[in-house]
């Protein structure tokens, strides 16, 4: 059921939108359609050039929902729940995209009746993604009131300076807001506190009630936002080495002590980083040549080669070629080399 208060706010929303829509630059879908393609059948609202609408009550916001691109979205934030804009709208990757919105005070109609304009008329909270702020900074100057609001708003300067803003970048609950985005946006609360909101977790398939869904000691957020590894697999590149052994300090960059958790052969020598039995190892599972870190502990032990160096002993021959050569000239496990063993150079 839609509450009376929400209906009142929706009424404000509808006429505020008629003004706000002037500054939207995201109707490319419709503009790109050829009229011939649309002939001979009934046109839906989007094809007629009307922007579709979505409404979400607080309960749906708590669970999470997808705000569709180029759609007027009205939502109410759940009572007593504080959440940052960044988390509510899907995190840093989505912040690079273009979305913006406005949270109503309920005073807009009265303000308009009193002849107020600009920031005095729209005295609620505007919010913008970093991508939208960048796009707005590139817009040519305009005398339009609404653009004036956005341009003169302190938020633009603060986001320019990368400063957090408690008023504008935190949603405090019981706020009814308008949202417009140029992409489908996962919106929701963050039940497990890992900074991936519930809807983003649902989309990815991670557990919204666990901050480390795959139990590899790396949080879902670090895997998704920083390391770009799978929050659903302890060994994202299937090379036999766990993600937390590959990127030791879990910072998403491959340093001297690290192997690449997203590449099964970090040093490009043809040998797998781990034991060589992983699904993405270059040598087949039937090959007598295995990988580099055979006991998968992140340390170069006796009898192993270094998965960070293509030529571990610096003798001028890469590890894989050297390993094959050694197998030709010495007993192979519990049987001698027969000459039938392939030596693929
Ligand atoms: Ca979460
Ligand atoms: Ca994890
Ligand atoms: Ca791995
Ligand atoms: Ca290697």
Q: What is the 3-state secondary structure (H, E, C) of 255-317?
A: CCCCCCCCCCCCCCCCCCCCCCCCCCCCCCCCCCCCCCCCCCCCCCCCCCCCCCCCCCCCCCC
With a CB cutoff of 8 Å and minimum separation 6, the contacts of 210 are: 192, 220
Distance 337 CA to ligand 4 centre (A): 24
The ligand whose atoms approach the alpha carbon of 293 most closely is 4
Average confidence (pLDDT) over 114-132: 84
Q: Does residue 18 sit within a domain?
A: yes
pTM of the model: 0.74
Q: Does residue 23 sit within a domain?
A: yes
Distance 234 CA to ligand 2 centre (A): 7
Domain span at residue 170? Answer: 4-195
Q: Which of 112-121, 160-169, 178-187, 325-334 has the lowest mean pLDDT?
A: 160-169
pLDDT digits (tens, 9 = 90+) for 234-266: 999 999 999 999 999 999 999 999 999 999 999
Per-range mean pLDDT, top range of 2-16, 146-160, 285-299, 329-343: 285-299
Distance 234 CA to ligand 1 centre (A): 18
Q: Which of 76, 77, 70, 2 is nearest to 33 (CA)?
A: 70
Q: Specify whether the backbone of 16 is left (phi greater than 0), alpha (psi in -120 to 50) or beta.
A: alpha
Q: Which of 24, 29, 30 is nearest to 178 (CA)?
A: 24
Question: Any idea which residue has 């809807």 for tokens?
Answer: 199
The ligand whose atoms approach the alpha carbon of 224 most closely is 2
Distance 162 CA to ligand 3 centre (A): 35
The ligand whose atoms approach the alpha carbon of 312 most closely is 4
Q: Does residue 138 sit within a domain?
A: yes
Helices (H) and strands (E) in the chain, counts: 15, 9
Q: Which of 5-19, 132-146, 221-235, 242-256 has the lowest mean pLDDT?
A: 5-19
Q: Distance between terminal CA atoms of the chain?
A: 70
- Side-chain-side CA neighbours of residue 8 (13 Å): 11
Q: Does residue 257 sit within a domain?
A: no
The token pair at 266 is: 């970090």
Q: Does residue 252 sit within a domain?
A: no
Q: Does residue 48 sit within a domain?
A: yes
Distance 81 CA to ligand 1 centre (A): 14
Distance 94 CA to ligand 1 centre (A): 15
The helix (H) or strand (E) run that includes residue 29 is helix 28-31
pLDDT digits (tens, 9 = 90+) for 40-70: 556 666 666 677 889 999 999 999 999 999 9
Distance 297 CA to ligand 4 centre (A): 15
Distance 65 CA to ligand 2 centre (A): 23
| C-alpha Rg value of the chain to the nearest Å | 28
Distance 280 CA to ligand 3 centre (A): 10
Q: Which of 127, 124, 130 is nearest to 110 (CA)?
A: 124
Q: Does residue 8 sit within a domain?
A: yes
Instruction: Report every protein residue that has its C-beta within 5 angstroms of ion ligand 2.
Output: 212, 214, 216, 218
268-281 exposure pattern, b = at least 16 Cβ within 10 A, e = fewer: ebbbbbbbbbbeeb
The full DSSP string for 147-172 is HHHHHH-HHHHHHHTT---TTTSEE-
Specify which residues 99 forms β-bridges with: 181
> What total number of domains does the chain contain?
1
């Amino acid at each position: 059921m839609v509450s009376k208060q929400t209906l009142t706010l929706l009424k404000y929303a509808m006429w505020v939108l008629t003004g706000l829509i002037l500054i939207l630059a995201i109707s490319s879908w419709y503009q790109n359609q050829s009229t011939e393609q649309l002939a001979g059948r009934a046109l839906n609202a989007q094809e007629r050039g009307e922007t579709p609408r979505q409404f979400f009550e607080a309960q749906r916001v708590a669970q999470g929902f997808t705000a569709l691109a180029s759609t007027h979205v009205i939502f109410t934030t759940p009572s007593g729940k504080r959440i940052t804009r960044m988390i509510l709208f899907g995190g840093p990757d989505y912040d690079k995209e273009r979305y913006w919105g406005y949270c109503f005070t309920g005073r807009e109609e009265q303000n308009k009746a009193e002849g107020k304009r600009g920031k005095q008329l729209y005295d609620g909270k505007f919010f913008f993604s970093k991508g939208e702020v960048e796009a707005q900074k590139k817009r040519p100057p305009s005398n339009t009131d609404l653009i004036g609001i956005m341009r003169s708003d302190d938020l633009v300067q603060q986001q320019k300076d990368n400063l957090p803003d408690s008023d504008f970048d935190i949603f405090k609950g019981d706020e009814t807001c308008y949202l417009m985005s140029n992409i489908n946006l996962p919106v929701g609360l963050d039940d497990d506190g890992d900074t991936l909101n519930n809807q983003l977790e649902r989309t990815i398939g991670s557990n919204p009630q666990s901050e480390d869904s795959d139990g590899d000691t790396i949080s879902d957020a670090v895997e998704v936002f920083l390391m770009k590894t799978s929050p659903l697999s302890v060994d994202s590149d299937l090379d036999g080495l766990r993600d937390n052994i590959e990127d030791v300090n879990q910072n998403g960059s491959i340093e001297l002590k690290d192997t690449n958790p997203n590449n099964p052969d970090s040093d490009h020598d043809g040998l797998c980083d781990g034991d060589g039995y992983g699904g993405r190892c270059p040598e087949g599972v039937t090959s007598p040549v295995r990988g580099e870190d055979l006991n998968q502990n992140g340390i170069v032990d006796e009898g192993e080669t270094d998965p960070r160096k293509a030529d571990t002993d610096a003798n001028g021959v890469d590890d894989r070629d050297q390993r094959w050569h050694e197998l030709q000239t010495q007993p192979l496990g519990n049987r001698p080399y027969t000459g039938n063993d392939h030596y693929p150079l």
